[in-house]
């Protein structure tokens, strides 16, 4: 009699456990599809999307490595819509793209803007496509230092500094540059700029002396960039995809795998959009430090 009473309880327990396991499997499977960790069958063409300022390289590097390691991804198109960003992150992503290009066809498609650090990434590709009206170029380096010395003087605030060497407080917001400061920083900026030019020379197979007239920070349309050899073709994302598929031996309508989009919560998205629209401030770049491969007109 006791066993008869226990049986419905056991059946109900197993049913609840079964339902729980079923929902766990559903959530796990959906998560694999959402994050792109689910490996689908058949040859694919990967689409890496670089959007907005380049502030942090970690997410993009992970996506590049995933596309490089997946054997069913036969070619990759990098879609760039970015004004550039930090020198370090731009160089790190560029290095990973170069590693990817050694293993698989890598084609670049420029959107509205692919300037400065955005163009730096582009030269890792074997062929660059841009729209006629794409904004590109801005081959240069910028570094800004605010100076609040006069404002602080008006409100009666001053800063006393104790330092181990004359350059230790270089870039301070509480004093103006000395000539020695400016000379030191200009030398650093010139070196970082030269690194940019050397990357372009290598990627575009152009001698540095031929590049010199175009690397002073000026911007170009896609059509102008093609005339001077900074890009290869005027064309859309679809054109770049068809070209990459052909080079990889795929048909011209391949299955596409997109990189995972960056997740931004609603509050951060609202603050970014408001600051950009009404104040002209890019919150992503506001806290960026150091030299920038950045076009400020974005």
Alpha carbon distance 73, 245 (integer Å)? 11
Domain 42-139+207-294 has CATH 3.90.226.10: yes
Q: Single out the catalytic residue among 57, 90, 109, 116.
A: 116
Q: Single out the catalytic residue among 65, 163, 168, 286.
A: 168
Q: Is residue 116 annotated as part of the catalytic site, yes or no?
A: yes
User: Of 138, 139, 118, 142, which is closest to residue 128 (Cα–Cα)?
Assistant: 118
The full set of domain ranges for the chain reads 42-139+207-294
Alpha carbon distance 118, 132 (integer Å)? 17
Over the stretch 190-232, which tens digit does the pLDDT of each residue have? 999 999 999 999 999 999 999 999 999 999 999 999 999 999 9
Q: Is residue 168 annotated as part of the catalytic site, yes or no?
A: yes
Over the stretch 256-287, which tens digit does the pLDDT of each residue have? 999 877 666 566 555 556 655 555 555 555 55
pTM, to two decimals: 0.79
What angle is formed at CA 76 by the lines to CA 241 and CA 80, rounded to 5 degrees? Answer: 75
User: Of 208, 197, 210, 233, which is closest to residue 119 (Cα–Cα)?
Assistant: 197
């Amino acid at each position: 009699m006791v066993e008869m009473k226990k049986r419905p309880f056991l059946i109900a327990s197993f049913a609840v456990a079964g339902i729980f396991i079923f929902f766990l499997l559903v959530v796990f499977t959906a998560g694999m599809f959402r994050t792109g960790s689910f490996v689908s069958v058949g040859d694919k063409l990967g689409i890496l999307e670089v959007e907005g300022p380049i502030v942090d390289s970690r997410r993009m590097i992970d996506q590049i490595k995933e596309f490089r390691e997946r054997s069913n991804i036969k070619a990759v198109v990098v879609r760039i819509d970015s004004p550039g960003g930090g020198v370090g992150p731009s160089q790190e992503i560029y290095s990973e793209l170069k590693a990817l290009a050694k293993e698989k066809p890598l084609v670049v498609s420029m959107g509205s803007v692919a300037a400065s650090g955005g163009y730096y990434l582009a030269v890792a590709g074997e062929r660059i496509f841009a729209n006629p009206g794409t904004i590109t170029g801005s081959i240069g380096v910028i570094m800004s230092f605010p100076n609040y010395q006069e404002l602080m003087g008006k409100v009666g605030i001053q800063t006393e500094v104790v330092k181990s060497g004359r350059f230790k407080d270089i870039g301070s917001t509480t004093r103006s540059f000395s000539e020695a400061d400016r000379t030191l920083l200009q030398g650093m900026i010139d070196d970082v700029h030269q690194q940019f030019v050397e990357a372009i020379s290598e990627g575009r197979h152009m001698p540095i002396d031929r590049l010199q007239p175009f690397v002073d920070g000026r911007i170009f349309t896609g059509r102008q960039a093609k005339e001077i050899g900074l890009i290869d073709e005027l064309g859309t994302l679809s054109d770049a995809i068809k070209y990459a598929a052909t080079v990889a031996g795929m048909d011209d309508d391949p299955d596409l795998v997109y990189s995972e989009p960056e997740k931004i919560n609603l509050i951060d998205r609202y603050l970014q959009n408001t600051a950009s629209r009404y104040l002209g401030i890019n919150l992503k770049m506001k806290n960026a430090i150091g030299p920038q491969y950045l076009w400020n007109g974005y």
